[in-house]
């Protein structure tokens, strides 16, 4: 998606807001965490989740779903969220554990870990995805496209995305032939071509068919 199209989409879409969080606070909840993940779909690397607690009066200009932002916009918002958030928790699940559990279970696990790593204990959790139910004894609500609607989930999506992207840049230094710095492990045409040429490297997810099929050829 080109930058101009992204700008038009962001301009006319409803920005993520604190409506959901404020409604919960009126109902007696005080520490509300938004949770999202990055890296469910890639063929390589970890899945990363973030949990973010925002204060009631916090305003973060330009906050949006991380997928609709440029890398520069995400980096700026990443720093601002870190400065303004009441608490941030990060969860990381490796490619090996993804292969052991399957991606669905790994997705729920990594979000749970992010919540558990918060410095504040939330009394309510807002999760991106209506079907996502975390194994925690905390009231929670799943919201479809939550990163487009809910400020704390949008903030979590940015923290998770930037954290994972930076991890993939480090992994590019270790496995430069795969160009992880460009596609971050997602199944782009370039990545698939590299996978066909070199076979899977140690951080490829063998439970994903492209890597599994190529593993037997090398």
Find the range with the poorest average confidence among 16-30, 97-111, 203-217.
203-217
**Is residue 54 helix, strand or coil?**
coil
In a domain, 197, yes or no: no
- Residues sharing a CB contact under 8 Å with residue 117, sequence separation 6 or more, in sequence order: 51, 89, 90, 91
In a domain, 9, yes or no: yes
In a domain, 209, yes or no: no
pLDDT score at 55: 87
Q: Which domain holds residue 114?
A: 3-176
Q: Report the helix count and the strand count for the chain, using DSSP H and E.
A: 10, 5
In a domain, 183, yes or no: no
What is the arithmetic mean of pLDDT over 90-99?
98
Residue with the larger pLDDT of the pair 6 and 150: 150
Domain tally for the chain?
Answer: 1
In a domain, 196, yes or no: no
pTM of the model as a whole: 0.92
Nearest partner of 30 among 56, 5, 57, judged by Cα: 56
pLDDT score at 154: 97
In a domain, 110, yes or no: yes
In a domain, 216, yes or no: no
Tokens of 181: 């710095």
Q: Is residue 208 over pLDDT 80?
A: yes
Residue with the larger pLDDT of the pair 174 and 216: 174
First to last CA, the chain: 35
> For residue 47, is it left (φ>0), alpha (ψ between -120 and 50) or beta?
beta
pLDDT score at 204: 97
Q: Per residue in 143-181, pLDDT tens?
A: 999 999 999 999 999 999 999 999 999 999 999 999 999
Q: Find the CATH number of the domain harbouring 64.
A: 3.30.420.10
Please state, in angstroms and rounded to a whole number, the distance separating the CA atoms of residues 137 and 157: 23
In a domain, 59, yes or no: yes
pLDDT score at 70: 94
């Amino acid at each position: 998606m080109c930058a101009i199209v992204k700008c038009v989409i962001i301009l006319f879409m409803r920005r993520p807001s604190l409506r959901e969080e404020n409604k919960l606070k009126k109902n007696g909840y005080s520490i509300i965490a938004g949770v999202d993940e990055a890296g469910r779909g890639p063929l390589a690397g970890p899945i990363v989740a973030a949990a973010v607690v925002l204060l009631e009066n916090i305003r973060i200009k330009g906050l949006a779903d991380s997928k609709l932002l440029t890398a520069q916009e995400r980096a700026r918002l990443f720093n601002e969220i870190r400065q303004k958030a009441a608490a941030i928790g990060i969860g990381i699940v490796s490619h090996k554990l993804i292969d052991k559990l399957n991606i669905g279970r790994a997705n729920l696990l990594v979000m749970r870990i992010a919540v558990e790593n918060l410095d504040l204990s939330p009394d309510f959790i807002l999760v991106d995805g209506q079907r996502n139910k975390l194994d925690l004894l905390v009231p929670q609500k799943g919201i479809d496209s939550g990163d487009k609607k809910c400020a704390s989930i949008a903030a979590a999506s940015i923290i998770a995305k930037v954290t994972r992207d930076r991890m993939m840049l480090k992994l590019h230094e270790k496995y430069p032939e795969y160009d992880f710095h460009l596609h971050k492990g997602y199944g782009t045409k370039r990545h698939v071509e590299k996978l066909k040429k070199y076979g899977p490297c140690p951080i490829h997810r063998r439970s994903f068919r492209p890597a599994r099929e190529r593993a037997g050829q090398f």
